[in-house]
Amino acid sequence: MAAAGRWITDHLGWRWVFYVNLPLGALTFVVFVLVMPSIRPQSVHRSLDRLGIGLLVMAVVPLVLAFSWGGSQYDWLSPQVIGLLVLASVATVAFLRVERDAVEPIIPYRCSGARSSPSSSLLRFSRPSACSAAYPTSRCSYSRSSAPLPPTPVW
């Protein structure tokens, strides 16, 4: 499928990738609505962990901002970046404490203590990203359709 996208981009232009995918997406949606059976939820009432959601946002957003701004807009040791990292750390600790006692946690507490959880997260963030697909065309003299496909690891 990647080769078809490359061919469309090279011969018709990059906008045509969206023009092709919009009707396909609409057709898929119509088939889904017509064919998918109606699934009604059981009468089980699930509570929404609003405090956990808020703390998760308070942990993730400052962390992303600190890593985005650190080294580019602010020095790594600037009060802005350090403050964001401290806020993210405090919110993460608070989030883990709240999720431990929550009736319906966003992330079950037993997942954060599993030995495989930190290592799988590290592997997930360290694997080659989608930007590696742009490497052959930006660093070499390939066109997009004749560039070799990047290796896709299956972990």
- Tens digit of pLDDT for each residue in 26-38? 999 999 999 988 7
Show the tokens assigned to 72: 């580019």
Show the tokens assigned to 118: 């930190």
Residue 95 pLDDT: 92
DSSP secondary-structure letter at 131?
Answer: G
Residue 118: pLDDT band with limits 50, 70, 90: low
Residue 47 pLDDT: 80
Closest C-alpha among 68, 93, 92 to residue 81: 68
Model confidence over 122-153: pLDDT tens digits?
566 555 554 444 444 444 555 555 555 555 55
Residue 136 pLDDT: 45
DSSP secondary-structure letter at 144?
Answer: T
The predicted model scores a pTM of 0.49
Residue 59 pLDDT: 95
